[in-house]
Amino acid sequence: MIERRGLLPFAALSVVAALLTIGFKGGAYLLTGSVGMLSDALESFVNLAGAVFALMMVTVAAAPPDADHPYGHHKAEYFSSAFEGLLILLAALAIVWAAGRRFVEPQPLQDVGIGVTLSVVSSVLNGALAYAMLRKAREHRSMALEGDARHLFTDVYTSAGVVAAVIAVPLTGWLWLDPAIALVVAANIVREGVKLVWASADGLMDRALEPEVQATITRTLEQFSHPTIRFDHVATRRAGHRRFVDLHMHMPAAWTLQRAAALRASVEQALMSAVPGLRATIQLLPMDVEAHFDDTEDPI
């Protein structure tokens, strides 16, 4: 699990970046009075809560297997992503409420130049961090870090829209443009929040491995295929960054257990070499024996 602990500095850096962003964007709102800037600042509070929870879950996921969790703690990262998605949805509701009030009571913006500068600085900070986090998340297949990175990218996009609106309001005199862009921001982060929650739920339901990974497994098994050796009932799943494959290997009934076990060890090693992080479980069966797991109803 040593390599998984390499994710912790990125998760901790996300917390620091969220605190700095709250300061920048909160200052931008106080200076301009823009409800669009307020919506951006509210999302930064979500970033902070999500970053703290992601740090906790990455720490848990990096823990080695124990007696109560013999397969490890990898799925803890899915809870982080789901939690951040729910926070995003709550932030969207707060933005809609603030924008609705501003439609009823529009007001001119002030100190636009300084406010825009603070927002741009925070966006550059978030964009650089999000890019580094996403690369690290893909390298280690970390759902928590990927969710945090994608949320930061969403923050950058929404900030760009807010800045554009804040600049346009004094140029056009359209005060309604400020709350209107806030509603667009809310809609965008709702979409991102729903995606995060769904991805987390999908992961907890033991989703199959990616098609390209399954194709790699199939090619690896074909290297051992023979008229007297075949594979079936191949099933794959993901749990956090770990990957699992279960299958049956059929061979001649006359083979000794030692010979069969030696071949199984070779197949397992080939699979784990071809797919990093894969855990293979292979059941040995004689060629004339079949196992069926197609029943959809539990026996009574």
Strand pairing partners for 248?
232, 283
Indicate if 244 and 163 belong to the same structural domain.
no
Based on the structure, what is the number of domains in the chain? Answer: 2
pLDDT of residue 3: 47
Tell me the per-residue pLDDT of 214-232, one tens digit each, with 9 for 90 and over.
999 999 999 998 888 999 8
Indicate if 181 and 91 belong to the same structural domain.
yes
Indicate if 235 and 88 belong to the same structural domain.
no
Confirm whether 244 is domain-assigned. yes
pLDDT of residue 267: 94
Answer with the one of 163, 182, 204 that is the final residue of a domain: 204
| Selection from 55-69, 88-102, 115-129, 141-155 with the highest mean pLDDT | 115-129
Tell me the per-residue pLDDT of 30-75, one tens digit each, with 9 for 90 and over.
887 777 777 677 767 777 777 777 777 777 777 777 777 777 776 7
Residues 217 and 243: beta-carbon distance below 8 Å: no
Global pTM value:
0.55
Range of the domain at 140: 3-204
Confirm whether 299 is domain-assigned. no
Whether the per-residue pLDDT at 292 is higher than 60: the answer is no
pLDDT of residue 159: 77
Confirm whether 293 is domain-assigned. no
List the CATH number of the domain containing 127: 1.20.1510.10
Tell me the per-residue pLDDT of 158-213, one tens digit each, with 9 for 90 and over.
777 777 777 877 777 777 777 787 777 778 777 777 777 777 777 677 778 888 98
Q: Return left, alpha or beta for 294; rule: phi > 0 is left, psi -120 to 50 is alpha, else beta.
A: alpha
Closest CA relative to residue 274, chosen from 210, 217, 208: 217
Answer with the one of 186, 204, 222 that is the final residue of a domain: 204
Indicate if 199 and 117 belong to the same structural domain.
yes
Indicate if 69 and 166 belong to the same structural domain.
yes
Whether the per-residue pLDDT at 1 is higher than 60: the answer is no
pLDDT of residue 123: 80
Indicate if 9 and 110 belong to the same structural domain.
yes
**Which tokens in the block code for residue 75?**
């799925």
pLDDT of residue 298: 45
Indicate if 237 and 173 belong to the same structural domain.
no
pLDDT of residue 289: 67
Q: What is the strand order of the sheet 278-286 is part of? A: 230-239, 242-251, 278-286
Q: Report the C-alpha gap between 55 and 261 in whole angstroms.
A: 42
pLDDT of residue 266: 94
Confirm whether 215 is domain-assigned. yes
Categorize the per-residue pLDDT at 261 as very low, low, confident or very high, splitting at 50, 70 and 90.
Answer: very high
Indicate if 162 and 224 belong to the same structural domain.
no
